[in-house]
Amino acid sequence: MGTITLSKVTKSFGEVQVIPPLDLTIDDGEFVVFVGPSGCGKSTLLRLIAGLEDVTSGTVKIDGVDATTLPPAKRGLAMVFQSYALYPHMSVRKNIAFPLKMAGMEPAEAEKRIAGAAKVLNLTDYLDRKPGQLSGGQRQRVAIGRAIVREPSAFLFDEPLSNLDAALRVNMRLEISELHQTLKTTMVYVTHDQVEAMTMADKIVVLHAGVIEQVGSPLELYNNPRNKFVAGFIGSPKMNFIEGEIATKHNAATIGIRPEHISLSTKSGDWEGVVGVSEHLGSDTFFHVKTKAAGLLNVRASGEVSARHGHKVFLTPDTSKIHRFDKAGNAL
């Protein structure tokens, strides 16, 4: 079991309201990702769920039970911190055993669980080392190990991969996703990296200045962003926004079109432009094209395309994939 319900939750630090009233339901077994720019209150929201911060008003329910005033230890949640927060003076084994020891579990049973966690996380050979003698990825796994031995009703992750290098991040991303497949436990995951959010989540919660902009599955957010902020935040590279005459023609203040929904041709098309920077990734090529009609546009072309810096090209948007926004930035 691991449903988490926030209703009318707010949080203020002194005068400053960081989280305005907010409602959110996280279902049992879901992988929910909080995503948003730096400082938007993702960590704060996670810490409110964990009980490390008190809510200013509103209620937090875990498994249907009001947990608003419960101390963190009583909520049955486990958290993995950005800095890992391993206990430096304890061996890996003792680190993982710590929550079990605090719960007063019998050593034999505890030992069995530690061995199980170590096996799942490939830590068996490192159990007697101190955290200082481990690599970043191994430390990360110890932190996860410490969380899973308790068999919590939900896991909370606060940017667990941000200290790892790019390759390792992709690996750990897969490992965490796999862990979720095996354990089928609710996971709440905070990140500012929308790629992590898109690849891992069952449900993404996009936050902006403490406000939930949209909740939905990755594809829902990609296909039907509710406003300009979500449209610009989800998807990589960013959606192109075009204002002015072209937008008016579509009866909108602004229209958005993703780089992958613009086709590029050297012969003919709707908008004429000049290629600026081009980024060749092998499988794809991204062009920055300066157009007279629509301004600077980011375009994605599959495979190798022969256009180079300074070449004249023509762009044609896929009109069925155009997103229209009103003056306030809401989708029409």
Ligand X SMILES: Nc1ncnc2c1ncn2[C@@H]1O[C@H](COP(=O)(O)OP(=O)(O)OP(=O)(O)O)[C@@H](O)[C@H]1O
Site of interaction with Mg ion (CB under 5 A): 43
Question: Is residue 114 part of the contact set for ligand X (CB under 6 A)?
Answer: no
Closest to ligand X by CB, 43 or 298? 43
Question: Is residue 188 part of the contact set for another protein (CB under 8 A)?
Answer: no
Of 169, 145, 165, 174, residue with least CA distance to 84: 145
Question: Is residue 70 part of the contact set for another protein (CB under 8 A)?
Answer: no
Closest to Mg ion by CB, 43 or 227? 43
Closest to Mg ion by CB, 192 or 228? 192
Please, which of residues 4-33 interact with ligand X by CB under 6 A? Answer: 13, 18
Stretch touching another protein by CB under 8 A, among 97-105, 196-204, 229-237, 252-260: 97-105
Alpha helices in 80-189 (DSSP H): 92-102, 107-120, 136-148, 166-183
Pick the binder of ligand X from 44, 95, 291, 298 (CB under 6 A): 44
CA distances to 107, 257, 260, 275, 319 from 330, in Å: 57, 15, 22, 31, 19
Rounded to the nearest 5 percent, the helix, strand and coil shares of the chain are 30, 35, 35
**Chain position whose Cβ is nearest to Mg ion:** 43
Pick the binder of ligand X from 4, 24, 43, 221 (CB under 6 A): 43
Residue pair 60/72 in contact (Cβ under 8 Å)? The answer is: no
Residue pair 246/293 in contact (Cβ under 8 Å)? The answer is: yes
Closest to another protein by CB, 82 or 162? 82
Residue pair 277/301 in contact (Cβ under 8 Å)? The answer is: no
Pick the binder of ligand X from 2, 41, 131, 137 (CB under 6 A): 41
Indicate the burial class of 82 (C-beta count within 10 angstroms; 0-12, 13-18, 19 or more): middle
Closest to another protein by CB, 136 or 237? 136
As a whole number of angstroms, the distance between CA 272 and CA 64 comes to 58
Residue 98, binding choice from another protein, Mg ion, ligand X, none, Cβ under 5 to 8 Å by partner class: another protein
As a whole number of angstroms, the distance between CA 300 and CA 307 comes to 12
CA distances to 17, 54, 193, 308 from 47, in Å: 15, 9, 19, 49
Question: Is residue 198 part of the contact set for another protein (CB under 8 A)?
Answer: no
Question: Is residue 283 part of the contact set for ligand X (CB under 6 A)?
Answer: no
Question: Is residue 21 part of the contact set for another protein (CB under 8 A)?
Answer: no
For residue 225, is the peptide bond before it cis, meaning its omega torsion is within 30 degrees of 0?
no
3-class secondary-structure state, position 192? coil
Beta carbons within 8 Å of 63's beta carbon, 6+ residues apart: 1, 2, 3, 76, 153
Please, which of residues 101-140 interact with another protein by CB under 8 A? Answer: 102-103
Closest contact distance (angstroms) between CB of 312 and another protein is: 55
Closest to Mg ion by CB, 85 or 105? 85
Closest to ligand X by CB, 30 or 159? 159
Closest contact distance (angstroms) between CB of 171 and another protein is: 23
| Binding residues for another protein (CB under 8 A) | 50, 52, 71-73, 77-79, 81-83, 85-89, 98-99, 102-103, 146, 150
| Binding residues for ligand X (CB under 6 A) | 13, 18, 36, 38-44, 192
